[in-house]
Amino acid sequence: MDYQQILQEKVAICLTLQGAKETFPFDKKIHALKLGGKIFALIHLYHGDLYVSLKCQPERIDRLREEYSNIKPGYHLNKQHWITLVINEHYDVEPETEIALIQNSYQLIFQKLSKKAQNTVRFSAND
């Protein structure tokens, strides 16, 4: 697997979401995808695997972790609100589910933005 290419694909998926921006607040290896200044996805390579960390509703986390062996508690994040998809040769999360989880994380952040910030996102063009 070409994890660098997969990393770029995951970042590209995130950047299709209205108002999403890619930043590097920690270092140049950790891609932080933000909406309104708040992170909704962290994507980076770690020990040969690709880690995609996403916000998630606490009531969904246990069920997702039971259903998919590659969904882990949020790596270095609040485990009540974050999950990490560990992409490796044993990856068992379907592409549709993965995209839905990314969109869900984005929506969780969007809902927390002020009405003014939400309107700014709604009426902005992705650059």
Q: What is the CATH number of the domain that holds 83?
A: 3.90.1150.30
DSSP 8-state secondary structure symbol assigned to residue 39: E
Q: Over 90: is that where the pLDDT of 1 sits?
A: no
Domain presence at residue 88: yes
- Separation CA 35–CA 28 (nearest Å): 19
Q: Which domain does 17 fall in, by range?
A: 3-115
Residue among 18, 25, 48 nearest 110 (CA): 18
Domain presence at residue 123: no
Domain presence at residue 77: yes
Domain presence at residue 124: no
Domain presence at residue 121: no
Q: Over 60: is that where the pLDDT of 8 sits?
A: yes
Predicted confidence band of residue 126 (pLDDT cuts 50, 70, 90): low
Domain presence at residue 48: yes
Q: What is the pLDDT of residues 63-120, one digit of tens each?
A: 999 999 999 999 889 999 999 999 999 999 999 999 999 999 999 999 999 999 999 8
Domain presence at residue 53: yes
Give the number of domains in the chain.
1
